[in-house]
Amino acid sequence: MSSFFLAIMGAVSQGVLWSVMALGVYITFRLLDIADLSVDGTFALGGVTTAVLIVKGMNPILALVIATLAGMLAGLVTGLLHTKLGIPAILAGILTMISCYSINLRIAGGASNTPLLKADTVMSFLNDLFPALSKTATSLIIGLILTAAVVAFLYWFFGTEMGSALRATGNNERMIRALGVNTDTMKNIGLVISNGFVALSGGVVAQSQKYADVGMGTGTIVIGLASIVIGEVIFGNRFNFAYVLCSVVMGSVLYRIIIAIVLRFNFFTTGDLKLLTAIIVAFALSVPIIKNKVLQKSAGRKGR
């Protein structure tokens, strides 16, 4: 039982750390209505950049800042490919994602794995201050602080004039252009912020797991979508924007708990996770349509 409890605790702290990524994906997927696949590349970019900089002796917090900037730059590349060169958003994201793989390998000096075994991390700082805390607890605390800051930022930003214009761009592009907004700029800003947070998330995950891997971003977009749709299905899309953002965080945590429980069954291995995640996303995204069909059927029966 206690091992089960530990697994759940670990899942919760992982979920919180990854929720920063999910919040980033939320900006593009829900607010801009773009499925941005660059996040698979920028999550690893954030992780690898952070790890390499820490190994070189940089302060782990500063390393996170640089990783975030790197992610923002990659997001800008996707944005420019899409808005200025007219490449469909999904393809622009794929191009950035693929390029990031090569760039990440370069940053890591050709090594696919960059360990942080003895290096300082944000978590080890906190552990030095409070030695009584477990590894999981420190990750959870760091994650909660970071997530709270990101949620607060997003709540503020999307309430501003610029943030409102960005939301309107995803909502009705022609309308907001007629109201004098350069929608290309708005999409670029959205992609930059989104990928910045995704890279930041990659950076803290790398510090928490004490290594970065060039392959650590594979499936990021699907995990991000899973978090968003689980949050929406469980908590609904109601109340204000802060509630919606928190539901994304809760979705990310629930996703990790689901995975932890699934892995308790000996039948599944970690290799099955991506398939399971894809099934969760496909199921959650199709819930509204299935619901409609069921409602129509029952309405039809009543009619007869």
Among 175, 275, 287, 294, binds other proteins (CB under 8 A): 175
The C-alpha R_g of the chain, in whole angstroms, comes to 20
Stretch that binds other proteins, among 3-11, 132-140, 179-187, 225-233 (CB under 8 A): 179-187
Minimum separation from the CB atom of position 36 to other proteins (A): 19
Among 14, 38, 42, 183, binds other proteins (CB under 8 A): 183
Q: Is 152 in the site for other proteins (CB under 8 A)?
A: no
Q: Which is nearer to other proteins, 122 or 168 (CB)?
A: 168
Q: Is 292 in the site for other proteins (CB under 8 A)?
A: no
Q: Is 289 in the site for other proteins (CB under 8 A)?
A: no
Among 59, 102, 113, 182, binds other proteins (CB under 8 A): 182
Minimum separation from the CB atom of position 80 to other proteins (A): 17
What are the tokens at 144?
Answer: 């909660």
Q: Is 118 in the site for other proteins (CB under 8 A)?
A: no
Q: How many CB atoms lie within 10 A of CB 157?
A: 15
69, exposed or middle or buried, with CB in 10 Å at 0-12, 13-18, 19+? middle
Residues in the chain: 304
Nearest to 33 by CA among 168, 179, 218: 168
Among 9, 120, 127, 177, binds other proteins (CB under 8 A): 177
* Inter-residue contact 260 to 9 (CB < 8 Å): no
To 5 degrees, how large is the angle CA 51–CA 91–CA 73? 40
Stretch that binds other proteins, among 93-101, 166-174, 225-233, 260-268 (CB under 8 A): 166-174
Determine the size of the site formed for other proteins (CB under 8 A): 22
* Cα–Cα distance, 181 to 94 (Å, whole number): 27
Q: Is 72 in the site for other proteins (CB under 8 A)?
A: no
Nearest to 27 by CA among 193, 168, 238, 151: 193
* Cα–Cα distance, 117 to 210 (Å, whole number): 6
Q: Which is nearer to other proteins, 173 or 272 (CB)?
A: 173
| Residues whose CB is less than 8 angstroms from the CB of residue 114 and which lie 6 or more positions away in sequence, other chains included | 48, 51, 52, 55, 108, 211, 212, 213
Among 97, 119, 142, 168, binds other proteins (CB under 8 A): 168
Among 2, 57, 131, 161, binds other proteins (CB under 8 A): 161
Binding site for other proteins (CB under 8 A): 157, 159-165, 167-168, 171-172, 174-183
